[in-house]
Structure 1
Amino acid sequence: EGAQYHVDRLDWEEKKAYVRPVKVDYYTDANLAVSIKVLQSFASRPTADVAVHHGEVQIRALATIFKKIRFHSHENIGSGPISLPEQQLHTTAFWLEIPAEVARQFPRPAMQGGLQGVANVLSQVACLFLMCDARDLGAHPEIRAPHTGAPTVYVYERYPGGVGMSARLFEIAGTVLGAAHDLVSQCGCESGCPSCVGPALEVGEQGKAVATRLLELAAMAPVG
């Protein structure tokens, strides 16, 4: 069983964390302001409804706040400010592109929530197929990605240079997208929960419905 510690002070320059043991019913996670720049696309499979890609990317991430997440229920029970330097990562990624004509079927706020829902569930399901830890992957949605000019969900490796997980995800994209759709469509929640697309407060009232439709289109497309 792991031990819990509270970080009282973080000395970034000296790479030291000053901690004390605690016993609480939550863990913390950071909200990141992420930007992604595609450096090179290695492979693509476009269809009428979606396109999947694999390539080399640069990630820039800045922690903005931390959240307190309750164990088991994964509900957000608090937050606070955080001040850390921006992090940069040169790695590889898989990304799912939604054509603009598909995106126009939904109001922009609903589309944003749907993309966030797809990012949340896709990163969870991908870990099962890749047999990796959830912390090995990051996921980030963009309503209009600079590289594609369209709504896009990135799943990237949190290791410099990548270790092959995104390449494998590209190979089995159809299977993973189908499993993600099944998970969301079969979940009994009404508007989202931590077990599928994420809490309704995060994805919005229409987020689950839009995510379900996007995943349905992706699962039906011949993307591998």
Structure 2
Amino acid sequence: QGLIDPDNLLILSAHLQAATFELPVGMRERFGSAPVVELLRVLEEDGSVHQAGDSWHWSADAFPAEGVSLRSAAADNVVIIDVTRGARVIGEMDQFSAPTFLHEEAIYLHEGQQYHVDRLDWEEKKAYVRPVKVDYYTDANLAVTIRVLETMASRAEQALPVNHGEVRVTALPTIFKKIRFHTHENVGSGPISLPEQQLHTTAFWMEIPSSVARQFPRPALQGALQGVANVLTQVSCLFLMCDARDLGAYAETRAVHSGAPAVFVYERYPGGVGMSARLFETAAAVIAAAHQLIAACPCEAGCPSCVGPALEVGEEGKATTLKLLQMAAFQAVA
């Protein structure tokens, strides 16, 4: 089931501007399920529309559809420029994701072609790339913190309580690694020098009660949490019909809002577009599918197809991840 939230303020604002450009919008009109008067007044303050009588009219010079991105709800995108073809623009990426995928020396994949990022001009929001053919991909590390702003839904009756709400994600890119295809060996690395990014979005998260956490030594718990984060990202994409880059996952042994261990799956779009709410609704099926994926994987100690490589989740990471998900899946399916 593909999802989009038409009441997301960024999406609603873009749609409302396009609608006002075509026809005046009356004071008593509704746009979908949302009343629009307050939003029209905000648009009037920035000069996009003006009120005449009991209706609003488009007043800006720009064509509103030109500012709407089909890839992101945000307007501040980074433009990707192929320097070998007359500085041709080949794509865009939202500002929050750019430090992860468009940092200098990154390998960016576009329409099946690999591109090397020669330079990222952060101030001008431009990434300069050139086509290459290499036997590796790049993986960026982020120092992430997540603060829960509001819990909108919670089910505490499960062995591992699941939640949905608004969060603020703070991400600082630190280093990147070059990972060889097929063997997954690290063939190089380098620093990323870009500013910290903040994203106000929505998330789905699982909290680990102390009674469950005590059953794992601390290093094993960290590996299990990371394994759950990795596999939930993979499985969630199938349930949501989205790309892996639409979601971010983060495991914390001590969450800021509760002090308890937690695994977050957050949307990489400002305000969210409904994916995390859908994950909350289908939590039992998602958890069961994640458990099934790991159990069916023929690897011994973890691999990129299930919980992630053993170097990331620990030698017992696969077993501890299965144990943690079993606790959740048993209660959720029961």
Q: Same fold (TM over 0.5)?
A: yes
Superposed displacement of residue 139, structure 1: 0.2
Amino acid of the structure 1 residue aligned with 2:291: H
Residues 115-148 of structure 1: CA distance to partner in whole angstroms, max 9, x if unpaired?
0000000010000011100000000000011222
Equivalent residue in structure 2 for 1:151, among 261, 274, 277: 261
Answering whether residue 126 of structure 2 is matched by residue 16 of structure 1, we say yes
The equivalent residue for 2:248 is: 138
1:74 CA displacement: 4.7
Alignment partners' CA distance in 2, 1:158 and 1:11: 22
Per the alignment, residue 122 of structure 1 pairs with 232
- The residue number in structure 2 matching 1:160 is 270
> Aligned residues, how many?
224
Name the counterpart of 1:88. 198
For residues 54-73 of structure 1, the aligned pairs below 5 Å read: 54-72=164-182
In structure 2, distance between residues paired with 1:149 and 1:183? 30
1:19-59 per-position Cα deviation (integer Å, ceiling 9, x unaligned): 22211122212100000000000000013621000000000
Cα distance in 1 between the residues matched to 2:188 and 2:333: 40
Match of 2:215 among 86, 93, 105: 105
What are the Cα deviations for residues 98-127 of structure 1, in whole angstroms up to 9, with x where unaligned?
Answer: 111111111101110110000000010000
* Aligned residue in 1 for 2:113: 3
Per the normalisation by structure 2, the TM-score is 0.64
C-alpha distance 113-176 of structure 1, shift in aligned 2 (>3 A) = same
For 2:206, what is the secondary structure of its paired residue?
Answer: strand
Identity of aligned residues (%): 75
Three-state SS of the structure 1 residue aligned to 2:238 is helix
Change (3 A) 1:72 1:157: farther
Amino acid at match of 2:316: Q
Separation of aligned partners in 2, 1:133 and 1:21? 23
Which shows bigger deviation, 45-54 or 209-218? 45-54
Q: What's the offset of the Cα at 1:70?
A: 3.0
Which residue of 1 is the match for residue 188 of structure 2?
Answer: 78
8 A contact 1:73–1:194 mirrored in 2: no
Aligned AA (1:44): S
CA RMSD of aligned residues (A): 1.6
Secondary structure of 1:89's aligned partner:
strand
Q: Which amino acid aligns with 2:206?
A: L
Match of 1:37 in 2: 147
What is the aligned partner in structure 2 of residue 200 from structure 1?
Answer: 310
The residue identity in structure 1 corresponding to 2:300 is: E
Aligned residue type for 1:147: H
SS at match of 1:161: coil
Write the distance in 2 (CA, Å) between the matches of 1:27 and 1:36: 27
- The aligned residue for residue 189 of structure 1 is 299
The residue identity in structure 2 corresponding to 1:46 is A
Distance 1:39 1:81, change over 3 A: same
Distance of 1:40 and 1:14 partners within structure 2: 34
What residue ranges of structure 1 are gaps of 5+ in the alignment? none
Q: Which has the larger radius of gyration?
A: 2
